[in-house]
Amino acid sequence: MRKNTVISLTATLLAANISFAVPAFADSLQTYNLDTMVVTAQRESKRDVDTPASVTTVSQKQLVETGASNLFDALRLQSGVTTYSYGGSQSLGGMNAKILMRGANKGTVVMIDGVPANINETYYLDSIPVESIARVEIVKGAASTLYGSEASTGVINIITKKKMPNTLSLTKGEYGREKAALTLNANKLNFAVALEQSDPMKGYSSNYKQINDLNKKSFTASYKFDDNWSFSHQHNDSKYSYDQYDKTWSKLTEDANYHYIDDFSRLQYKDDSVSANLFYNRSNRRNQTYNVTGSKWTKSDHLRFDTIGLDLQKQITGKFGDVIVGTTVSRDSYKNDITVAKNIKPGTKINEFRTNYAVFAQLSKDLGAGYTATVGARETVVEANKRYNAFTPQFALLKKLDNNSSLYANAAKSFKMPTFTQIYGGGGANFAANPLLEPEEGWTYEFGYKKTSNTSMFKAALYYMDLDTIEYEGKGTSSNPYVTRNMSFKNKGLEMTYEKDFGSKYSYSLGANFCNPMGKNKKGVWERKFAREQYNAGIKYHDAKFNAALTGMFTTDRASGWGDLLPVNFIAGYKFDKSSSVELGVENIFDRNDIVSNPGSATKYYCLPRMVHVTYTYTF
C-alpha cells in the first residue's frame, strides 16, 4: 500500500473540503445523565429506569474516553458484549469484526438513526466516524418484535449528531496510523468525512497473513429540511490487504486485496406521533488475490447487495394505554458475478431477490400500583427461495419500586432468516452453500433490576436464551470448507453494571458478566462458545482544561482453551483555549498479545501491540 504522510493527507482534505475528525475533549462533546432517555428498546422515548429491557447508552464523550481508534474498538470495551475480529484491520474479506450479544454468534442488528444498516448479516463499525455520532444505544435480548429478522439477540442503534461542530483534526500514531479531519456545519447542512491509513504488520496471525494494511474513506452528510423532514447519506470506501507469507514470514506467496464500497441513504419524517423512514443500502464487494508462486490471479467473488425499504410507525395515546402500530416493507437483492463457493459450479452467476413484509403492534398499559404491562407482536412474511411466515410475540411487566428504581420481567420470541450467501453461496472458495437452511427461532427470558440517583446508576439482569441458530462448521480450507447448518444454542447468565460520579471531577464504572453459552454440534454434543466471565472497569477525571480516562475489560474462561483477554486503554486531553486542544491516547497499555478472533476459528488473530497516538484539534 502506498505510504502517504500526514501533510499530504491534510492537503488533500483541505483541497476537497473533506476530512476525518477525531473529537478531542472539547465543549462540543455531549454529556448525559446516568439515567438517560432511551428510544430503541420500545420505539419511543422513555427513561432507562422505566424501560423493561437491558439497555446501555454510550455518549460520544464516553466513546472518546475509551481511547479507541474507531467505533468497534470503543464498543468492545462496553459491559456485556462479546467481540471478535481479524487483527488490527478488524475485518478480513467477508469475515467482518462482530459485536455479539450474550454469546450468540449472530442476530445483532446495527441501525443508523433507527434504520437497519446490516447487509447480508455484516456491518463495518470500524468504518463509521465517531465524530458524527451523538450516542449509541445497545439493547440486549430478542428485539424481533419491533425490529424484525436481524434483531434476534440485540440491537446497536447509532444515533448521529443533528449539528456537527466545525473542527479540523490531525492524528499521528504508531505503525503508520494516520488520520486527518474536517467537520463542517452550514446551518441545515452537516458534513463529516474520514481518511485513515496504516502500515502492514507481520507476526500477528497463526496462518501467516499480515494485518493492519488498510486505507479507509468515509463521508457522511445530512440535511434538515424543516422540523420534520431530514435526509442523510453515508459512504464508506475501505481497502484491506492481507498478504500471505510462508512459515518464515520472509517469502510472499499471495497478495490478497479486498475493496468494499458501502452506501446508506435515509429520508426521514418525524412528528409527535408519526415516524417514517425510507432507506436504501448498497454494498459492493470485490476480492482479488494474486498467487505469487503460480504467477496468476485466483478466481474471486464480486458481490453486490441492495436493500430498499420503508418503515412506518404511529403512536396513539388513549385511556386504553400507549399503542405503537407500524409496518416494514423491504426488498433485498444479491448479485454475484463470479461465484466460487465450494459446492457451486465455478463462474456461476447469482441474481436472487427477497421481499419482506411485516406488521407490528405494541401496547403499554398502566395497571396501577406501580405496574406497567407491555404486549407486542409482529407478523412477518418473507418471499424468497420459498415462502416463510413468522409470528413473534413479546411480553414485559415492569414494577416501579419508587421514582428511581424498578423491577422488570421480559419474554420475547426471535426469528432470523438465513443470509443470501449462506443459501446460495459466495464469500470465497472455502465456503459452501446450503439451500436447505431454515430460519433461526427461539425465546429469550429476562428478569432485571434498575436503580438510579443523581450520581449513580446500578443495573442487574438475569437471562436465559434458547435458540435454534445457524452456525459455521469446518476449517475453512479447500478440503474442509466452512459449511452452515442449523444448530441449537442456549445461554444463561447474570449481568451487572454500576456507574458513579463522585465530586464534580471524578467518576468510575464497573461491570461483571457471568454466563455459559453452549452450542450443539453435528454429533448432538453440547460445546462451549466464547467466554464465561467478563469484567469491565473505568475511571475518569475532567475539569475545564484537562481530561483523562483509564478503561479496561478482562475476559476469562474462554472457549477452545484460549487465554485471557485484557485490553486496557488510556487517554488524556488538554484544552489550550476555546479553539485548540490536544489528546494523547495509548491503546493496549500492557502490550499484551491476546487472541482476538473467534474461539471456534482454526486461525488465531492477535491484537496489535501497544500503540500511542496524538491528536490535535482546532475548533472554529
Handedness of CA 488, 532, 50, 148 (dihedral sign): negative
Between the alpha carbon of residue 304 and those of residues 164, 218, 281, 308, 497, the distances in Å are: 32, 19, 11, 14, 41
Looking at the domain assignment, is residue 273 inside a domain? yes
* Number of domains the chain contains: 1
Return the closest-CA partner of residue 254 out of 285, 216, 208: 208
Return the closest-CA partner of residue 490 out of 528, 457, 461: 528
**Dihedrals φ, ψ of 591, to 5°?**
55, 45
What is the pLDDT, as a whole number, of residue 25? 34
Kindly report, residue by residue over 166-189, the tens digit of the pLDDT: 999 999 999 999 998 889 999 999
What is the pLDDT, as a whole number, of residue 591? 95
Residue 100, SS3 per DSSP = strand
Low-confidence ranges of the chain (pLDDT < 70): 1-35, 69, 87-96, 339-347, 427-430, 472-481, 600
Looking at the domain assignment, is residue 122 inside a domain? yes
DSSP readout, 483-512? EEEEEEEEEEEEEEEEEEEETTTEEEEEEE
What is the pLDDT, as a whole number, of residue 67? 75
Enter the DSSP assignment of 587. E
What is the pLDDT, as a whole number, of residue 88? 62
What mean pLDDT is reported for the chain? 85
The residue ranges of DSSP E strands in 125-251, in sequence order, are 133-140, 154-160, 167-173, 178-186, 189-198, 213-224, 229-241, 244-245
The answer to whether residues 514 and 471 touch, using CB atoms and an 8 Å cutoff, is no
CATH code for position 332:
2.40.170.20
Return the closest-CA partner of residue 25 out of 165, 189, 160: 165
What is the pLDDT, as a whole number, of residue 40? 78
For residue 107, the one-letter residue type is G
What is the pLDDT, as a whole number, of residue 266? 95
Looking at the domain assignment, is residue 232 inside a domain? yes
Looking at the domain assignment, is residue 417 inside a domain? yes
What is the pLDDT, as a whole number, of residue 306? 95
Q: Is the pTM of this model over 0.95?
A: no
For residue 499, the one-letter residue type is E
Looking at the domain assignment, is residue 1 inside a domain? no
Q: Kindly state the helix (H) or strand (E) to which residue 10 belongs, with its residue range.
A: helix 6-16
What is the pLDDT, as a whole number, of residue 104? 84
What is the pLDDT, as a whole number, of residue 93? 54
Residue 36, SS3 per DSSP = coil
Beta strands 405-416 and 440-452 are antiparallel
26-45 core/surface letters (b: 16 or more CB in 10 A; e: else): bebbeeeebbbebbbbbbbe
What is the pLDDT, as a whole number, of residue 9? 40
Return the closest-CA partner of residue 521 out of 464, 557, 476, 471: 471
Looking at the domain assignment, is residue 502 inside a domain? yes
The answer to whether residues 529 and 469 touch, using CB atoms and an 8 Å cutoff, is no
Residue 250 neighbours by CB under 8 Å, 6+ apart:
none
Domain that holds residue 130: 6-619
What is the pLDDT, as a whole number, of residue 245? 92
Looking at the domain assignment, is residue 176 inside a domain? yes
What is the pLDDT, as a whole number, of residue 130? 79
Looking at the domain assignment, is residue 142 inside a domain? yes
